[in-house]
Amino acid sequence: MFFYKNNELYVEDVKVSDIALEYKTPIYIYSKNHFENQYKKLDQKITRKHLICFALKANSNLAVINTFAKLGAGADVVSAGEIFRAKKAGIDTTKIVFSGVGKTQEEIKYAIENNILMFNVESFEELEEIENVASSLGKIAQISFRVNPNVDPKTHPYISTGLKKNKFGISYTQIIDAYKLANQMKHVRIKGIQFHIGSQLTDVSPFFEAQLKVANIMKELLSLGIKLDIIDIGGGLGVVYENEQEPDLDQYSNFINQAFKDFPDSLIVLEPGRFLVANGGIFVTKVLYRKQNEGKNFYIVDGAMNDLIRPSLYDAYHKIEPVVKKNVAKVQADIVGPVCESGDFFAKSREIDNLERNDLVSIFSSGAYGFTMASNYNSRCRPAEVLVDKDTVKVVRSRETFEDLIRGEAI
Ligand code: LLP
């Protein structure tokens, strides 16, 4: 948890300013307690038999994955690299679901060898590839199909995935044929059905719309003699970044119960990413310089778009506050990084305390799609990540060095 006490920002029992002093900036700071609480909250609200598969793409630090592994979580992965991480972090591979439109032959092989729970298959050609790879290994691959239900999630266009114009899944009109085809294959076993309509949904009703469509598909399949053990309802639960309404988990759970009441024995798989980790992380950066251009204020900080790209990429809002509040007047300023692009900003025309050089600021809600989307653009070393558990601070990824920057390169 992150909170202010006597105008100082704390993460659990530790002052954020102490962490920044010791481990320098820019830095990602995570609260283990928040991660665990979010997991338990969701786990308790879903009343049906279920498995929570943490979407690793949101935050794939080994210590973060391990926190969920210990609570019994599986993983939703989108690459062989994520399977590797999941294993290293202690996730039971039989609890891994593999999503993504472009799984390579090598990735399919690696996944089968690791006995994952299932592939969420996104095209007819991918199905064929899985059948071929499984056959060459003399194994049976478990699959579900990702259906594109053509439902509007009413979220940012870059993160909506369940509309027919999106590249994801197999269309509603072709899905039955896909199951018929798979049913005849020797090396695939049909396990379930999956959908994921988008991310950062705070209104859960679009989920229900998709769930009803999926239940209809399941009824049609049953009439063809195809029974599904698993209903994977994807991720997408939103969080509060600014002043959004938190998703209503009771309603979410009720919708699941209602939509799938005719399939009481099927296991519900959930693939939450953001919901579990977004507000369990902050990104702390230091003011390097201030300047005014034509009356416009700029705070230039030591973090940049390469560290946290969400504002630049999606125009995403992240709350920004000083780590130590000094009760000074507010100003309007752009908070920008050192990268050589005008798109390198964390906030524009933001009302914020009048900051001085070396002041620390916290960029909140950075636990999801923060470090995982970081790059080395401008040959900047990626920041350190620390995980706080009550009064214990652990560096769970050290700050990169110059040597890290050139690893594998040659002249
Ligand atoms: N399952 C599938 C198949 C997905 O594609 C995603 C996210 C998730 C689960 C997890 O969704 P979540 O529960 O986190 O909403 N970089 C963007 C978000 C991209 C999400 C992509 N897919 C951002 O920073 O907002």
pLDDT in tens, 231-249: 999 999 999 999 999 999 9
In a domain, 56, yes or no: no
Phi and psi angles of residue 104, each rounded to the nearest 5 degrees, phi first? -85, 165
In a domain, 85, yes or no: no
Q: Domain check: are 112 and 165 in the same one?
A: yes
User: What CATH number should be reported for the domain holding residue 236?
Assistant: 3.20.20.10
pLDDT digits (tens, 9 = 90+) for 265-311: 999 999 999 999 999 999 999 999 999 998 899 999 999 999 999 99
Using an 8 Å Cβ cutoff, are 210 and 150 in contact?
Answer: no
In a domain, 70, yes or no: no
In a domain, 234, yes or no: yes
Report d(CA 157, CA 154) in Å as an integer: 8
Q: Is 251 helix (H, G, I), strand (E, B) or coil?
A: helix
User: What CATH number should be reported for the domain holding residue 26?
Assistant: 2.40.37.10
Query: What pLDDT, on a 0 to 100 scale, did the predictor assign at position 150?
Result: 85
Q: Domain check: are 249 and 329 in the same one?
A: no
Domain ends where: 217, 244, 270? 270
pLDDT digits (tens, 9 = 90+) for 299-319: 999 999 999 999 999 999 999
User: How many residues are present in the chain?
Assistant: 411
Q: Domain check: are 149 and 251 in the same one?
A: yes
Q: Domain check: are 212 and 121 in the same one?
A: yes
Binding residue positions for substrate: 274, 310, 314, 341, 369
Give the atom of ligand 1 at the shortest distance from the alpha carbon of 236.
15
Q: Domain check: are 150 and 7 in the same one?
A: no
pLDDT digits (tens, 9 = 90+) for 102-125: 999 999 999 999 999 999 999 999
The whole-number average pLDDT for the span 144-157 is 83
- Binned at pLDDT 50, 70 and 90, residue 2 comes out as very high
pLDDT at 151 over 90: no
pLDDT digits (tens, 9 = 90+) for 47-71: 999 999 999 999 999 999 999 999 9
Give the atom of ligand 1 at the shortest distance from the alpha carbon of 146.
3
Q: What is the mean pLDDT of the chain?
A: 96
HSE at residue 110, side-chain half, CA atoms within 13 A, is 18
In a domain, 295, yes or no: yes
The whole-number average pLDDT for the span 220-233 is 98
Query: What pLDDT, on a 0 to 100 scale, did the predictor assign at position 397?
Result: 98
The whole-number average pLDDT for the span 89-99 is 98
Find residue 388's DSSP bridge partners: 31, 393
Query: What pLDDT, on a 0 to 100 scale, did the predictor assign at position 163?
Result: 66
Report d(CA 281, CA 11) in Å as an integer: 9
Percent of the chain topping pLDDT 90? 94
Q: Domain check: are 15 and 163 in the same one?
A: no
The whole-number average pLDDT for the span 174-200 is 97
| ipTM score of complex | 0.99
Query: What pLDDT, on a 0 to 100 scale, did the predictor assign at position 128?
Result: 98
Domain count, the chain: 2
In a domain, 21, yes or no: yes
The whole-number average pLDDT for the span 191-208 is 95
Q: Is the CB of 270 under 6 A from ligand 1?
A: no
Relative orientation angle of helices 249-259 and 205-223, to the nearest 10 degrees? 20
Q: Is the CB of 122 under 6 A from ligand 1?
A: no
Q: Domain check: are 297 and 193 in the same one?
A: no
Q: Domain check: are 106 and 224 in the same one?
A: yes
pLDDT at 158 over 70: no
pLDDT at 33 over 80: yes
Print the domain residue range for 207: 100-270
pLDDT at 164 over 90: no
What distance in angstroms lies between residue 158's CA and the mean position of ligand 1's atoms?
A: 10
Query: Which of 54, 57, 371 to probe ligand 1 with, by most ligand atoms within 8 A of CB?
Result: 57
What radius of gyration, in Å, describes the C-alpha atoms of the chain?
Answer: 23
What distance in angstroms lies between residue 161's CA and the mean position of ligand 1's atoms?
A: 9
Q: Domain check: are 292 and 387 in the same one?
A: yes
Q: Domain check: are 146 and 241 in the same one?
A: yes
pLDDT digits (tens, 9 = 90+) for 348-401: 999 999 999 999 999 999 999 999 999 999 999 999 999 999 999 999 999 999
Report d(CA 316, CA 332) in Å as an integer: 18
pLDDT at 160 over 70: no
pLDDT at 332 over 80: yes
What distance in angstroms lies between residue 23's CA and the mean position of ligand 1's atoms?
A: 30
pLDDT at 155 over 90: no
Q: Domain check: are 293 and 261 in the same one?
A: no
Q: Is residue 340 annotated as a catalytic residue, yes or no?
A: yes
Domain ends where: 270, 289, 320? 270
Omega before 26 cis (within 30°)?
yes
Report d(CA 224, CA 220) in Å as an integer: 7
What distance in angstroms lies between residue 272's CA and the mean position of ligand 1's atoms?
A: 8
In a domain, 209, yes or no: yes
Q: Domain check: are 242 and 384 in the same one?
A: no
Alpha helices in 288-391 (DSSP H): 310-314
What is the distance of C-alpha 387 from the center of its chain? 17
DSSP 62-108: HHHHHHHHHTT-EEEESSHHHHHHHHHTT--GGGEEE--S---HHHH
The one catalytic residue among 225, 295, 340, 402? 340
Tokens encoding 274: 């953001």
Domain ends where: 208, 242, 270? 270
Query: By mean pLDDT, which of 155-164, 166-175, 186-195, 400-409 is the weakest?
Result: 155-164
In a domain, 78, yes or no: no
Q: How far is CA 275 from CA 237, 280, 318, 353, in A?
A: 6, 9, 15, 29
